[in-house]
Chains A and B, each alone.
Chain A
């Protein structure tokens, strides 16, 4: 089957020589609910911008359900609906007109557009606002208006750039429910977020992006498991020729005085030391080995904690 999204060796250098994407490759399968997770400035919006042709790529290729965005751009655009990070509708136009016009740009006749506009405005709880100037809507309503607009041509792939930024908790949950539902009905969804919690509760697969590079591309479950483990480096007194074997604690021998042990966060470290002592191994010192992923997550969590206050 064609991937819903295939990105290969994507590079973007902005004017003024800033390299925002450094050779990103990524596949998203049809039907997936996919998170592009990363801190601010990682390159998430740039990636989304290229997918929906608001940003010109420097090199690389992108195809959507097998349609290349350069050579088959008309078809490719029919397949994708985008909800950008910033509001980008005319604040003086009314939600209903905004949807009808967007449908028109996709060549959808007015009668069909009117039916769909009503359907999506109702589903997103905006029907009673459909004929007021959109500048009078609240932030959460504006965001939902953009979701309705992205769906009006019924794309197979829906891309949302930080859809819940600035949306309060209650609305956030109902938006999540809505997204789960349309995903269940077959729409592939990609969303960017800097909330691990959001990716965790919605998505099946995830790519982590940092400084314009994909750091990790895996399933959410796998990712969480990985984050649940800690790696310790132990310096021992004895000269080891064989790696000690202790049940439940995978150990690797780094050199003849150094061990690395994987410990799940739920496991006790006391038990590890007991087992090592009975095996005749004496630990002189121990340190925590952090990898880039963990550092990144530490960052994400830290930033979110401080960021939430000024949201």
Chain B
């Protein structure tokens, strides 16, 4: 395939992915928006006013970046996991497997498709959050940079989950038992200063903590952790997951018999 043909193949996958989540928007776009609005109302407005400040910020301004990040994470992940597993299940993944499209293009196509949903929902949620909290942006490059990398990383993770999945249960196990705890314990709702020394150390092995904090830093200029560290961690994880995912596709694991 020439580079131009590869580009066409890539854009075809991305376009199809976007088309898919737009077509089924009541399942893909609406629920995260409703969830996030509920979070804002409950944690931000109702409870938040009683909590007062967290790490020197009004509570609603503290949780808003975390909630945005949470929706980017879950939407990037679930888009790729359900789209890729769905095409295994209906076997239309074979349309790609019989084509000359190289595996890395297939991988990037699905991942960028997942990022489009993750970032799209993130954007909607950000706009909505402006209704509840007013915040300015401390550093645009850091904010955009970390949100892009987070979305990339969780899209990759979603694809790996989908490759291994044999049934629909398998695609909800990781989100329920890994992703949700990681985000809830990842400093979305509280500053890790609140935890004792031991538990804040334990929190340091949670990648979501780095992303949420880097993002909050980009917006509000405060962070529990070192920003350079955060970027390096997320970058490293993404590279690792990229090669794991590519290797799975190259071997044809659970795709070719």
Interface residue ranges, A against B (CB under 8 Å): 14-15, 49, 52-56, 73-75, 77-78, 80, 82, 84, 86-93, 97-98, 100-102, 104-110, 149
Contact = CB atoms under 8 A, between A and B. Distances in A.
B11 A89 contact: no
A102 B11 CA distance: 12
Nearest to B257: A55
Contact of A91 (B5, B90, B101): B90
Given A90-B90, A101-B16, A107-B9, A53 B97 contact: yes
Nearest to B3: A107
A88 B95 contact: yes
B12 interface: yes
B250 to A, nearest CB: 12
A84 B16 contact: no
A38 B6 CA distance: 39
A56 B100 contact: no
A104 B11 contact: yes
A87 B91 CA distance: 8
Contacts of B139: none
Q: What 9 pairs between A and B have smallest CB-CB spacing?
A: A107-B5, A104-B12, A105-B99, A88-B91, A74-B100, A90-B92, A77-B100, A52-B98, A88-B94
Interface in B111-142: none
B1 A107 contact: yes
Nearest to B2: A107
Contacts of B257: 14-15, 49, 54-56
A87 B94 CA distance: 10
A93 B19 CA distance: 10
30 contacts: A14-B257, A53-B97, A53-B98, A53-B256, A54-B94, A54-B256, A54-B257, A55-B256, A56-B252, A56-B257, A73-B100, A74-B1, A74-B102, A77-B98, A87-B91, A88-B91, A88-B95, A90-B86, A97-B16, A100-B12, A101-B16, A104-B12, A104-B13, A105-B95, A105-B100, A106-B9, A106-B101, A107-B1, A107-B9, A107-B101
Given A53-B256, A101-B12, A77 B99 contact: yes
A133 to B, nearest CB: 10
A53 B2 CA distance: 21
A54 B98 contact: yes
B163 to A, nearest CB: 15
B20 to A, nearest CB: 8
B11 to A, nearest CB: 7
A89 B9 contact: no
Contacts of A54: 94, 97-98, 256-257
Contacts of B12: 100-101, 104-105
A286 B2 CA distance: 68
Contacts of B9: 104-107
B98 A89 contact: no
Contacts of A49: 257
A149 B95 contact: yes
Given A75-B100, A104-B8, A105-B96, 18 more contacts: A14-B257, A53-B256, A54-B97, A55-B257, A56-B256, A89-B92, A89-B95, A90-B86, A100-B12, A104-B9, A104-B12, A105-B13, A106-B5, A106-B9, A106-B99, A106-B100, A107-B1, A108-B5
A148 to B, nearest CB: 13
B91 A105 contact: no
Contacts of A73: 100
B4 interface: yes
Contacts of A15: 257
A104 B100 CA distance: 10
B35 interface: no
Given A74-B1, A86-B91, A88-B90, A105 B101 contact: yes
B87 interface: yes
Contacts of B23: 92
B92 A88 contact: yes
Contacts of A100: 12
A98 B9 CA distance: 13
A157 B192 CA distance: 63
B74 to A, nearest CB: 23
A84 B94 contact: yes
Contacts of A149: 95
Contacts of A88: 90-92, 94-95
Contacts of B91: 86-88
Residue of A87, A88, A97 contacting most chain B CB atoms (<10 Å): A88
A97 B98 CA distance: 17
Contacts of A55: 256-257
A110 B8 CA distance: 8
A55 B4 CA distance: 28
A37 to B, nearest CB: 23
Contacts of B252: 56
Contacts of A105: 9, 12-13, 95-96, 99-101
